[in-house]
Amino acid sequence: MTLQLIELPLLDRLFTWTNKRAEPTLARLDRAFFTMEFGNVFPGSTLTSGHRPTSDHTPILASIQTNIPKPSIFRLERSWLLDPSFLHSVLPSWQSVSRTGDAARVMVAQVKAARLASKVWLHKHRSPHIHIP
pLDDT at 132: 53
Are the C-beta atoms of 33 and 5 separated by less than 8 Å? yes
Mapped onto helix, strand or coil, the DSSP state of residue 22 is: coil
Residue 133 has pLDDT above 70, yes or no: no
Kindly state the average pLDDT of the residues 38-42: 84
Per-residue pLDDT tens over the stretch 46-83: 888 887 677 777 788 888 887 766 677 888 888 888 88
Are the C-beta atoms of 58 and 50 separated by less than 8 Å? yes
pLDDT at 1: 56
pLDDT at 130: 53
Residue 7 has pLDDT above 60, yes or no: yes
Using a CB cutoff of 8 Å and minimum separation of 24, what contacts does 7-10 make? 7/31, 7/32, 7/33, 8/32, 8/33, 8/34, 8/45, 8/46, 8/47, 8/62, 9/46, 9/47, 10/46, 10/47, 10/48, 10/49, 10/60
pLDDT at 117: 93
104 pLDDT band, cuts 50/70/90, is very high
Q: CA-to-CA distance for 123 and 86, rounded, in angstroms?
A: 12
Q: CA-to-CA distance for 88 and 102, rounded, in angstroms?
A: 27
pLDDT at 90: 92
Q: CA-to-CA distance for 1 and 99, rounded, in angstroms?
A: 70
Q: Report the range out of 11-25, 49-63, 109-123 with the highest average pLDDT.
A: 109-123
